[in-house]
Chain A
Amino acid sequence: MSEHILSIIWLTPLVGMIAVMCLPKESKDLIRYVANGFAVLGLLVTIPMIRAFDSSNGDFQMVERHDWIPALGAQYYLGVDGFGYLMILLTVVVGWLSILCSWSSIQERVKEYYAFFLFLQAGMLGVFMVLDVFLFYVFWEIMLVPMYFIIGIWGGGRRLYAAIKFFLYTLAGSVLMLLGMLTVYFKHYEQFGHYSFALEDLLRVAAYTGPDMQFWLFWAFFVAFAVKVPMFPFHTWLPDAHTEAPTAGSVILAGILLKMGLYGLVRFAMPLFPKGATDELTVQLVALLSIVGIIYGALVSLMQSDWKRLVAYSSVSHLGFCTLGLIALNPNGISGGMLQGVNHGLSTPLLFLAVGIVYDQRHTREIADYGGLANRMPVYTVLFAISLFASMGMPGLNGFIGEFTILRGAFEVSIWWAGFAVLGIVLGAAYLLWLFQRVMLGPITNPKNEGVKDMNLREIIVMAPLVAGCFWIGLYPKPFFEILEAPTTKLVERLDPGYFSRNAAEPADEAVQLSRLLPAETPASE
């Protein structure tokens, strides 16, 4: 069993999908129980991975490797390091919660819904553990299909438009990535005389490729990941998809799918083409796009009258931080960017879940239709406030740790980057607090809001793990930085071989030290 830990993790939801498909479509409750059962099972099967994972080891762990298509050199090749490990944990948790939160909001075509959701879950988990570029592409593409249906069948009014837009944008990005993949694969063949898609084989190609070629290849990959992240100006699919998707779809989109872009950058685009990633033009352009994304996302969020759209645009702003951190190309920036990805995966699903709870009762997303909800929904108000603060970067919650680390990384490169990013934080506080004021505070002006009910137990159970995660990372981020440290060090070493000897005065794990410096975040057990 122990040599198949990762296979079991991604196959569990797939088995769940097949099980759901075998059930009769009339017995909706049975389908719900089975689907939720498999979601919980999906959590449980990660326990062996958690036990076996060694965060001090920078190599890939729990590796599984078999020939798949020898003619192409494609392998069934799985393994995790710190980046993938965190993302897998995030995926099983957020995936479980989004299946749980669909219990009462999905009443039509229940069977297909859960089948697609479990299929999506399997695809996402696969993306985070494959080390074969070909197989990565397979998972990357296949997971678009269930997402298309989830938005298209169970979405809001403009769901058809949003679903196909999502699909086409992502597909256009990924076919360019396919060309990049094939080019580096062909170069590997020219150099070494055999076909292979294994990541470690393709990593060797960089030494034989010129800077110009690497620049173009990096961008071929980058466009695919930038669409997914999404970076300005590739973000236009996101507001539509997030707004029209059902609550659970938005949660998965914001929580996991966007992280695939970040993950793809650190796993493939950056290490495969170090000269492309560190190219002066690339760095400046990506930083510029990130900063524009941060400010633009925040400004557009300020203008939104649709609650869900506001949250959607806030993702553009928050993910701008993550990419800014990554392109700073130093340990703080990269580990901060990845941690902020996890943070966003906890806090933005909370915001979408919050919208979903009142939407299920009132069937409107207009902010103006609400007001004074705090009077009727005390528990909801508290949880919503925590989500906002987490998203905003309030010290003591997760967003602060991520943003702070990214800012340190950005500052190391340029004071301007950090300056603009801080402006984004201020704007973030503005639109989030203003949202809170408009929907929660004041008297109830709209009589329809008189009858809203507070959260039920299931809804609290859905939100509680995410809130706990926000506090955990906010108060005690050390384990997370430890997990990220080894792969980050490895990546920085590859991108900038002299980095650590140049900065010998500053220890490599300064991000970890940072968490020790802040007294409030050091628990008594230390």
Chain B
Amino acid sequence: MMDAISFTLDDFHVLKPAIVLCLFGCGILLTDAFLVRRIGQRWLNAVTALVGEAVVAAILLQYLPDVRSGGALTGLAGSVVVDGFGVFFNVVFMLAAALAVILSARYMESEGEQRGEYYALILFAQAGMSIMATGHDLVVLFVALETMALSFYVMVGFLRDSKRSNEAAMKYLILGAFSSGLLAYGFSVLYGISGSTSLAAIGEAIAARPALDWIMILALITTSVGLFFKIAAAPFHMWAPDVYEGAPTPTTAYVSVASKAASFALMIRLFVTAYGSVAEAWVPLLAIIAIATMTIGNLAAVTQSNLKRLLAYSSVAHGGYILLGLVAFSATGLRGIAIYLLAYVFMNFGAFALIAALRRDGEAAEELDDLNGLFGRAPGYTILMAIFMLSLTGIPPLAGFYGKYYIFLALLGEGYYILAVFAALYVAVSAYYYFRVIRACWLGEAAERPASLDMNLGTRTALVASGVLTVLIGVLPQRFIDLAGESVLAALR
């Protein structure tokens, strides 16, 4: 593999999304320094970033004919493979990044931190995530993961004058670095076991080993724990509430959706391709972690009074559900994960978009009480908020329901009845705190100086589009199930 280092057009082809994102990121840095700053219209950086997303979308469309019906494009001697799974996750990242850019344009302006670097970081993070979903090699995956993580550390702390933002960035950096270290350690053990960094080769080496010995368990545990940190699974979720609360709200939404999706993509690849033969060892581990995650996420969310913390714990709980899709370890489970993540983009971004716009006297208003009586001031947006909350709960016919539907179906199909009952009953628990949000909006008494919604055209469009898609996927899910559900099955091939 190392003998001939030649870069062909094929290699370029599979890396296109990441290359384009990096180019646009650098472009933003340059134009911001030499052009946009002089005009004083720094929201133009957001426009540049959106153009970048459009180019990525075009590239992903270009991939489609090749990855349909199980095809794949291979590059860099098999260490990057663009298949249905990779393209699907890239679509998720693209949607999340575009929404993050749109929300940030207004939010960063209001916070007085409108800078080009921020948008460049959004794109750099996305470049990392793009490879996390297509990488088939430990080194490639690790570098991609770190590209994403480093960008996020900076974005979380981007509000330089905010103590909470700084604290959040520090926490995220330290815990993130710790988990990356664990993951790297696990990867090195895997290399020791197999003598290769390629996932497929590692999978074969593990399958050829006679039994599950302590060295394999060591690799399994270190890599799992490293990834548990990234997806904020209990008991490794402690960073999530603080980071979600302190980060600029659009970043919070971006981290909660995209970084979670990317980490799951890496996790699915690793567990299915490399650990597929020792499933009996990790399925119980994941099942326990999933139950713990749903328990802690749901129960802790009940008592939160800060909206961002509430959604942070809710996001932890959703991570638990998605993990259950992997526990089932079947095609239905994977479909569930894909649809869950796709729906999560819209419903979670929708909710965060509203929170990002909520302001009192120019200060960001992020408490549950700030929503009180919002219905009287903005009935349309309040209806949208109710739709997002109901979708997050999993009430049909809204997008969020189908993810849970497939995950329950996968669990029942594999005979995990008890797990399914746990997961189902936690839906009722989660309804309690999502309804606290709805209650505040609809039934709360407005305060003397109520918080108002501060939006520009972009935020409005993003919010309405998220709402419409949440309902549309719910009522007419056929196309989305076809696209999302079938493309991820490439991971099983």
State the A residues within 8 Å of B (CB): 69-72, 137-138, 141-142, 144-145, 148-149, 152-153, 160, 164, 167-168, 171-172, 175-176, 178-179, 182-183, 185-186
Contacts and interface: CB of A to CB of B under 8 A. Distances in A.
Contacts of B482: 71
Interface stretch (B95-103, B138-146, B148-156, B425-433): B425-433
Given A178-B424, A179-B424, A142 B397 contact: yes
B425 to A, nearest CB: 6
B442 A149 contact: yes
Contact of A176 (B421, B435, B443): B421
Nearest to A171: B428
A72 B481 CA distance: 9
Contacts of B439: 152, 160, 164
26 contacts: A69-B477, A69-B481, A70-B478, A71-B481, A72-B477, A72-B481, A137-B396, A138-B397, A141-B395, A141-B396, A142-B396, A152-B443, A153-B443, A167-B431, A167-B435, A168-B431, A171-B428, A175-B424, A178-B405, A178-B424, A179-B420, A179-B421, A179-B424, A183-B412, A186-B409, A186-B412
B408 interface: yes
B485 interface: yes
Contacts of A178: 405, 408, 424
B412 A179 contact: yes
Q: How many interface residues does chain B have, given as a range?
A: 20 to 34
B427 A175 contact: yes
A71 B485 contact: yes
B265 interface: no
Contacts of B485: 71
Contacts of A148: 435
B390 interface: yes
A480 B460 CA distance: 54
Contacts of A168: 428, 431-432
Contacts of B417: 179
A138 B443 contact: no
A87 B432 CA distance: 31
B442 A153 contact: yes
Given A141-B395, A171-B428, A176-B425, 16 more contacts: A69-B481, A72-B477, A72-B481, A144-B395, A153-B442, A164-B435, A167-B435, A168-B428, A175-B424, A175-B425, A178-B405, A182-B405, A182-B409, A182-B412, A183-B412, A186-B412
Interface in B158-182: none
B71 interface: no
A19 to B, nearest CB: 16
Contact of B424 (A70, A164, A167, A176): A176
A168 B436 CA distance: 12
A488 B375 CA distance: 47
Contacts of B420: 179
A137 B401 CA distance: 11
Query: What secondary structure prevails in chain B residues at the interface with A?
Result: helix
Contacts of B476: 69
B235 interface: no
A72 B397 CA distance: 13
Q: Which residue, of B390, B395, B421, B482, has the highest number of chain A Cβ atoms within 10 A?
A: B395
Q: Which residue, of B390, B427, B428, has the highest number of chain A Cβ atoms within 10 A?
A: B428
Contacts of A164: 432, 435, 439
Contacts of A183: 412
A172 B442 contact: no
Contacts of A167: 431, 435
B362 interface: no
A485 B425 CA distance: 38
B487 to A, nearest CB: 13
A235 to B, nearest CB: 17
Interface string B254-280: 000000000000000000000000000
A443 B338 CA distance: 71
B413 interface: yes
Contact of A172 (B395, B396, B425, B478): B425
Closest 7 CB pairs of A and B: A172-B428, A175-B424, A71-B481, A138-B396, A171-B428, A175-B427, A182-B409
Nearest to A137: B396
A141 B391 CA distance: 12
B49 to A, nearest CB: 35
Nearest to A216: B417
A185 B413 CA distance: 10
Nearest to A175: B424
Contacts of A171: 427-428, 431
Interface in B427-458: 427-428, 431-432, 435, 439, 442-443
Contact of B408 (A70, A71, A149, A182): A182
A149 to B, nearest CB: 7
Interface string B369-405: 0000000000000000000001000011100000001
A153 B432 CA distance: 17
Nearest to A144: B395
A44 to B, nearest CB: 28
Contacts of A186: 409, 412-413
Contacts of B477: 69, 71-72
B492 to A, nearest CB: 18
A186 B328 CA distance: 14
Contacts of A145: 390, 395
A340 B390 CA distance: 35
A175 B442 contact: no
Nearest to A180: B412
B396 to A, nearest CB: 4
Contacts of A137: 396
A175 B442 CA distance: 25
B284 to A, nearest CB: 21
Contacts of B432: 164, 168
B114 to A, nearest CB: 38
Contacts of B409: 182, 185-186
Given A71-B485, A186-B413, A175 B428 contact: yes
A304 B413 CA distance: 48
